[in-house]
Amino acid sequence: MNQPDYRDFYPKSLIPIGNNDRKALTSFQRQTDDTFQATHWLVALQGKVIYLPEEDYQWQVYLFPADVEGSYTWEKPYYVSDCFESMEKAIEVSCELELYGRDDAVISSIRQEKIS
């Protein structure tokens, strides 16, 4: 799938959505696109050039509801992280999201992050 304005976009992993996350995701899907039935989380990294000509980057972690083939709607991420100055930090955060996904706790972890 093509993403406008994404010069550096790296889909990282596709994780099956567990029952707890699926129940909580239902209201999000009703608000965004109730015709698309997500079965997986797609964790991805996006880099944007912030300074030219040196091409310094800032990185964000994206979490999209996706289907079994990895199709997703790029305009409707479930989660977008803050910007990171290093790709290493973005990778670290993406790995945390992957662990939460495998534990069926993505939505509860994101809610906790917003509270703190």
**62-110: pLDDT as tens digits:** 999 999 999 998 888 999 999 999 999 999 999 999 999 999 998 888 7
User: What one-character-per-residue DSSP string does the chain give?
Assistant: ---TT-SEEEEEEEEEPPHHHHHHHHHHHHHH-TT----EEEEEEEEEEEETTTTEEEEEEEEEEE-TT--B-TT--SEEPPPBSSHHHHHHHHHHHHHHHHTT-HHHHHHHHHH-
pLDDT of 107: 86
Calculate helix-pair angle for 106-115, 87-102, nearest 10 degrees: 130
Q: How far apart are CA 108 and CA 106, in angstroms?
A: 6
**Residue 38: pLDDT above 90?**
no
Handedness of CA 13, 15, 34, 93 (dihedral sign): negative
pTM over 0.85: no
Contact 42, 14 (CB under 8 A): yes
Q: How far apart are CA 114 and CA 68, in angstroms?
A: 28
Of 34-38, 55-59, 71-75, the range with the lowest mean pLDDT is: 34-38
